[in-house]
């Protein structure tokens, strides 16, 4: 499909995170088309369960039938940079589906949202702030695309 989608919750508040995300998205755009959906987080929910449910509903509404949903989750698989590049190649070469990377809200995903995941991707065993997770994901995808293109950004 040669396109990547992103679904994130909440606007970036820190100038450094917004600048870093723009930097890696600019680099990524040299290799592939992308689109981003930024969903409103459900801060008004009365408790964590209600918040996850409300954000899960918004996430499911934002997903298309051809999205290969890759949820970022500490319980997911960590591929390493070259392994992620290989998976990225597989995902973007699928003519019927586009990889759609999702970073959920601070309390995780609802069971309904998790049921929609095709894969889970881990950035490591750490719990990361949303903004930092977004920067790391974008950098690793840029790195993966540069590996696939034979660009010298990645060093062994």
Q: In the chain, where are the structural domains located?
A: 3-149
Helix-helix angle 15-29:130-149, to 10 degrees: 20
Region of residue 141 (left: phi > 0; alpha: psi -120 to 50; beta: else) = alpha
Domain 3-149 fold: Alpha/beta knot (3.40.1280)
For residue 44, the model assigns a pLDDT of: 84
Q: What is the C-alpha to C-alpha distance for residues 132 and 147, in angstroms, rounded to an integer? A: 22
Helix-helix angle 130-149:80-92, to 10 degrees: 80
Residue 125 CA: distances (Å) to CA of 48, 114, 128, 137:
22, 19, 9, 14
Per-residue pLDDT of the chain (156 residues; tens, 9 = 90+): 589 999 999 899 999 999 999 999 999 999 999 999 999 988 888 898 989 999 999 999 999 999 999 999 988 999 999 999 999 999 999 999 999 999 998 889 999 999 999 999 999 988 889 999 999 999 999 999 999 999 888 777
For residue 156, the model assigns a pLDDT of: 75
For residue 1, the model assigns a pLDDT of: 54
């Amino acid at each position: 499909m040669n396109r990547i989608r992103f679904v994130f919750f909440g606007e970036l508040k820190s100038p450094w995170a917004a600048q870093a995300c723009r930097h890696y998205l600019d680099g990524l755009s040299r290799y592939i088309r992308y689109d981003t959906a930024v969903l409103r987080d459900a801060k008004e929910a009365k408790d964590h369960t209600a918040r996850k449910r409300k954000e899960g509903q918004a996430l499911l509404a934002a997903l298309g039938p051809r999205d290969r949903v890759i949820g970022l989750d500490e319980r997911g698989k960590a591929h390493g940079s070259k392994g992620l590049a290989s998976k990225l190649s597989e995902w973007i070469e699928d003519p019927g589906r586009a990889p759609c990377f999702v970073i959920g809200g601070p309390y995780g995903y609802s069971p309904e949202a998790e049921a929609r995941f095709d894969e889970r991707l881990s950035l490591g065993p750490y719990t990361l702030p949303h903004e930092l997770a977004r920067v790391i994901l974008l950098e690793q995808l840029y790195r993966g695309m540069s590996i696939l293109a034979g660009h010298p950004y990645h060093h062994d």
